[in-house]
Amino acid sequence: MKLEILGTGCAKCDKLAENVKATADKLGLDYEMSKVTDLGKIAGYGVMMTPALVVDGEVRISGKLASEAELTEILKAAAD
């Protein structure tokens, strides 16, 4: 599973990355996570507000910090 955190490096972006990693680890998922800070690439996903989470090329969250429950639901669905 490929996870991308889109953002410019703000506190919310870092927190989303931390939460996604913790949730993916808790679920025992096999994943690769990266941070995308290039505004051109972020805009290429159609994202206008960060932070955002992209799972396997699909934007799943944009403009907010997701709760652990939301992240669990998103990552479980993507793993199936």
- The reply to whether 10 belongs to the active site is yes
Six token digits for residue 66:
């997701």
- Give residue 45's identity as a one-letter amino acid code: Y
- Of 3, 5, 6, 13, which is the active-site residue? 13
The residue annotated as part of the active site, out of 1, 2, 9, 10, is: 10
3-class state of residue 62 by DSSP: strand
Quickly list H helices, 1-80: 11-27, 39-44, 68-79
Q: Which residues are catalytic?
A: 10, 13
